[in-house]
Structure 1
């Protein structure tokens, strides 16, 4: 009993962990508006691949519908009845040519629909990624990286089968089924209606089955999303996992998620497997009706309302073909519902609008001087907590200011507002007298460089990483920027120098080396405003001495906002602002603040006491 209770608790904890990042299965009606929106991605190819695929499909379908007539009516009722060997030769050659034509049509259909499908998936994924790239920081504040990856990769992949085969196959099956029903009714209405009496029963039962199957595949999608989210989280946090020796616990947790995924697939495939035998049973019943009632009609003879032997043979072929498109249409319906579910999640992101947007009449901020003004700025990340309270600042062009205070005091928020990653809730932020809401984002951010504590290094060469902020920079300019900040020494010691390939997040480099690269990147971009957000926190004392010298060159002629807990790095700042709970407590130079014996004095004193204790 205790074991069961613990297992239940683990399961609940496992589900709660993903509650906010993964959708739940819900019953929704088929959304035709959304399906039409999805199909608009085919529009660029309606004059190229799509017409060719449709024509090829009609050719192969027409051949399949014609051949049973030739075998039944012509071969049996004409050739065999009249013992016409010449006609038999023509018939065999004609059928061979038709099958060759069908083969060519199928080959081109498969080729063109696959090209069409891959192009549509490429366009959709590119559109989704490009849109997400332009969303505001607030969007990423509320979503995990794993859940975003699931949308871009898994949900987009879920649509691949729909676009590569589903749409054309749907059209082909509808044409095939319609053609078979029409031909059967023309050949013998009585026999056709007798065979199709099973259809209403079949559709009723299959509808019930499909609804159950749909729920099962929805659960599969949810479990896959959970698995991907956990996998991404585990890989990103592998160092923390190993640091705390939690590998075993993480394996057990993954086993739980993986087991849920396995069980959902097993349940869904079991239920889906029931549909095939059901169609086969319907086919068997149809065949029994054909043999019994068809034989009776043959015995009656054509003159007495019966049928010829050739008609019976044609019926046999068509009945064999009849249930095939019905079975595929049932599978296609499930595929459409899965596509609906995936497209809902994709369009949810595509419908997301940035919180920070350019005005239609926004202006380019050219020849920036770098004066920054905060005019009674208030900001909150959510309704419950205000991050900044009526902040007013006036930072002169070329001035170096420092923001200090405890964690959560609002330092990074001020930096985020300067880069306009967020807009103030109240008040305004201005640069050179212009409200940032009136300035184009691209022109603003081109002239601002941000150096963070957690420096992000992209996969690629050292040269490419430094050049990231200014892609048109020459190799000489990259090397010069590296020399200025003291990064050239360690780069030259690497195996391939500036052409050394760094792995994801720059794992082959130390924290200090990554930080030096970020300084070189910032300098190369030649910004008017430089924001250093705990930029020297990961650098050792020896490296810090080099950085301090490099900063003199880096900050020269630029407006600088330095955020630091290590107060020794901000002594030379023109103005130091001390923040607490989103308010400015005091400001002034280092010497002025030390003389006041206020909050800044206490912060410096506490740091020196900590150093002495060490």
Structure 2
């Protein structure tokens, strides 16, 4: 029985690959990117809940549970295949029993046949997800073109140039066929026949052929370099454009090193196509014609030896290819992880310097790169073994050919020249087979690279039909109405459930609440950064779902706590986001936020080039610049999510006073944990576990009893309240210090 198998592009994608395998088992070939969006796989993989929600969204009836000890006695009653938790670290597909063993499909290894004891050993917690397709599953559309089709579309404009390249390749192959006949002629007629006059003619002819072949090679390489330089540029631009169109959630669940790895994948794809285009046509033509000549004009017996040699070479290679592909996939995944680690080290220099984490990080670097070096060595060893095995088989074939051929020459069945000509043709034929063997190793690497490239290209853009939606001017004084809004991140429980709230327009408002209560999520949804699953969000008369996402983001601007600036001048950073902004508008915005005070002290003023991530400015200075950058956009609604947290209270109060005065009559929403900030606004809403508990003007809320007062009065309940206060003095005893809970409480 043939079992469906889908390999995982990354280690974290094992659960996604499992759903893809089961979908393929039932006749649907779903792209991994589509499943990933529904499952919500992040940097640490996915949960059982995420797999269940994703499977249900794809049209499966999904039921999760925990297997009991007698599961193997009841296996015939289960709807298989199913997904099971393997080794506490990944997901695999359980296909059931075949003869005396059980079959699983491990996305990182392949199809495995194991005993019941082995499965019980690895299936420790018994977690299991049963999937049964319903009618909605069979109505799914799976008509996305493959990446091979996409590459062919990129090549299509250069089809006439490629035809020229192939034609040159055939001519080069034809000229290569002249060599064995020249050798036969020189051996039989010149050396053995003693025809000295023919030698000069043959030498001149051979020289002419080699000059023509060299010129054709030069023209062919020039054409190929031109074509594939454009192809690589096209793929790179396609990838770069796609990155800009991906939803925010995609960036939040990926490692930064993965994106750099995809650009290397493009270079690998292009390099293989260049080599294949230059060498493959000529080698194939030479091998095909050589095989025909060997069979019909020389010796069928010698040809059989060459064919057997070629068959053994191909058979040995095909046996090793699955192992090579699995190792390549793991190696590329390790490279991405290590690259991401180095990016994190660079960005987190301050953290590891101030937390004495250098020894631990050094151990991790040694371990990771040592593991990578070991995997590289394994791959090189396997590739070398494959090549040496092919050379060994080829060498045995050559020896067998000469042995049998020499016997035929002695028996006068062949002339010496014919034997030499046959040997050259046999070499050309086996050279083609050897090229295919070595090319197949690289082909496996490129196949994996294409799959990884597809992982990005096949992801649905966040607003594919955005251009069809209307543009509208969002009123800066219109009320913001959340009506029965539901939202959850893929693979998680609902963060907002039937959430309703009205934020008054044209005023300053604050969303307050404990960390993790949903305030930032509400801000991102309002700014059009996360799509919500149900409900409506109205700003004045406009339903945000009906408007273009670009239109919404241009008029509802969110400034987050973490700022980002590009490595270019301050003015260029502003004009990158607001191309029409004038120098005077940038200066005016910076005066409102107080950024002009430190910019004027910089040697180059607004032309000062910021370091990567703005590393040559303090956190407070960057936040002032970020708010000023948002003001240049002149948004109808401005949202500040902890955007002044790096400022001292006095500077923060001054900045917000100037900001709110500048934006009088325009909706401004603040998210802050500082009570001083929450008291200066016109209206406050208290968010608790994704719900709006209470809302109103600050004075009204201060007159109400409740937990919201801690966000307005600045007196949060202290865990030590009611116990003795700790005093820093020499008289402090053990009785004055409260005990630490948990394992430290001896």
Q: Give your verdict on TM over 0.5.
A: yes
Give 1:112-131 correspondences, 5 Å limit: 112-131=223-242
Structure 2 counterpart of 1:36: 148
Quick check: 1:241 aligned with 2:345?
no
Alignment check: 8 A CA contact 2:687 2:693 kept: yes
Alignment check: 8 A CA contact 1:452 1:533 kept: yes
Query: CA offset at residue 100 of structure 1?
Result: 1.4
SS at match of 1:159: helix
What RMSD over aligned residues (CA atoms) do the two structures have, in Å? Answer: 3.0
Whole-angstrom CA distance in 2 between matches of 1:104 and 1:498 = 56
Q: In the alignment, which of 284, 288, 298 is matched to residue 174 of structure 1? A: 284
Q: Which runs of 5+ in 2 are unaligned?
A: 1-10, 15-41, 47-89, 91-105, 112-144, 719-724, 728-746
Residue-by-residue CA offset, 1:512-567 (whole Å, 9 max, x unaligned): 11011112211111111111111111112343244134313442342111111112
Query: CA offset at residue 251 of structure 1?
Result: 0.9
Q: In the alignment, which of 498, 501, 504 is matched to residue 606 of structure 2? A: 498
Moved more, 263-272 or 138-147: 138-147
Structure 1 counterpart of 2:404: 293
Query: CA offset at residue 491 of structure 1?
Result: 0.9
Structure 1 counterpart of 2:579: 471
SS at match of 1:375: strand
Q: In the alignment, which of 310, 320, 323 is matched to residue 417 of structure 2? A: 310
Structure 2 counterpart of 1:341: 448
Quick check: 1:95 aligned with 2:218?
no
Alignment check: 8 A CA contact 2:186 2:202 kept: yes
SS at match of 2:471: coil
Q: In the alignment, which of 39, 61, 84 is matched to residue 173 of structure 2? A: 61
Whole-angstrom CA distance in 2 between matches of 1:196 and 1:25 = 35
Structure 2 counterpart of 1:47: 159
TM-score under structure 1 normalisation?
0.87
Query: CA offset at residue 109 of structure 1?
Result: 2.8
TM-score under structure 2 normalisation?
0.73
SS at match of 1:508: coil
Query: CA offset at residue 592 of structure 1?
Result: 1.7
Moved more, 469-478 or 503-512: 469-478
Structure 2 counterpart of 1:183: 293
Whole-angstrom CA distance in 1 between matches of 2:715 and 2:208 = 91
Q: Which runs of 5+ in 1 are unaligned?
A: 1-11
Query: CA offset at residue 49 of structure 1?
Result: 4.3
Whole-angstrom CA distance in 2 between matches of 1:391 and 1:36 = 45
Alignment check: 8 A CA contact 1:532 1:563 kept: yes
Structure 1 counterpart of 2:129: none
Give 1:175-324 correspondences, 5 Å limit: 175-190=285-300, 191-301=302-412, 306-324=413-431
Query: CA offset at residue 83 of structure 1?
Result: 4.8
Structure 1 residues 510 and 269: alpha-carbon distance in aligned structure 2, compared to 1, 3 A threshold: same
Between the two structures, name the one with larger relative contact order (CA 8 Å, sep ≥ 6). 1
Residue-by-residue CA offset, 1:65-117 (whole Å, 9 max, x unaligned): 22221232x33344456655454333222211211122122223333333333
Q: In the alignment, which of 556, 559, 572 is matched to residue 667 of structure 2? A: 559
Give 1:542-581 correspondences, 5 Å limit: 542-581=650-689
Whole-angstrom CA distance in 2 between matches of 1:602 and 1:464 = 42
Structure 1 residues 533 and 96: alpha-carbon distance in aligned structure 2, compared to 1, 3 A threshold: same
Give 1:599-610 correspondences, 5 Å limit: 599-607=707-715
Query: CA offset at residue 167 of structure 1?
Result: 4.4
Query: CA offset at residue 147 of structure 1?
Result: 3.4
Residue-by-residue CA offset, 1:479-517 (whole Å, 9 max, x unaligned): 232223221221121121111111111010011110111
SS at match of 1:402: strand
Residue-by-residue CA offset, 1:342-372 (whole Å, 9 max, x unaligned): 2122212222224555467421123644522
Alignment check: 8 A CA contact 1:512 1:543 kept: no
Alignment check: 8 A CA contact 1:528 1:558 kept: yes
Structure 1 residues 198 and 145: alpha-carbon distance in aligned structure 2, compared to 1, 3 A threshold: closer
Residue-by-residue CA offset, 1:236-261 (whole Å, 9 max, x unaligned): 33332222111111111111111111
Structure 1 residues 347 and 35: alpha-carbon distance in aligned structure 2, compared to 1, 3 A threshold: closer
Whole-angstrom CA distance in 1 between matches of 2:216 and 2:449 = 31
Structure 2 counterpart of 1:365: 472
Whole-angstrom CA distance in 2 between matches of 1:116 and 1:595 = 74
SS at match of 1:457: coil
Structure 1 residues 394 and 556: alpha-carbon distance in aligned structure 2, compared to 1, 3 A threshold: same
Alignment check: 8 A CA contact 2:512 2:686 kept: yes
Whole-angstrom CA distance in 1 between matches of 2:466 and 2:347 = 37
Quick check: 1:518 aligned with 2:631?
no
Query: CA offset at residue 156 of structure 1?
Result: 3.0
Whole-angstrom CA distance in 1 between matches of 2:310 and 2:577 = 65
Moved more, 209-218 or 539-548: 209-218
Q: In the alignment, which of 108, 133, 138 is matched to residue 25 of structure 1? A: 108
Structure 1 residues 299 and 433: alpha-carbon distance in aligned structure 2, compared to 1, 3 A threshold: same
Query: CA offset at residue 409 of structure 1?
Result: 1.7
SS at match of 1:449: strand
Give 1:534-545 correspondences, 5 Å limit: 534-545=642-653
Residue-by-residue CA offset, 1:166-205 (whole Å, 9 max, x unaligned): 3443333322321221222233133323443433333333
Give 1:443-458 correspondences, 5 Å limit: 443-458=551-566
Residue-by-residue CA offset, 1:287-333 (whole Å, 9 max, x unaligned): 333333323333444xxxx2233212212322333332222211111
Q: Which has the higher helix share?
A: 1
Alignment check: 8 A CA contact 1:114 1:165 kept: no
SS at match of 1:502: coil
Alignment check: 8 A CA contact 1:378 1:388 kept: yes
Whole-angstrom CA distance in 2 between matches of 1:361 and 1:387 = 30
Structure 1 residues 546 and 602: alpha-carbon distance in aligned structure 2, compared to 1, 3 A threshold: closer
Alignment check: 8 A CA contact 1:593 1:601 kept: yes
Moved more, 425-434 or 398-407: 425-434
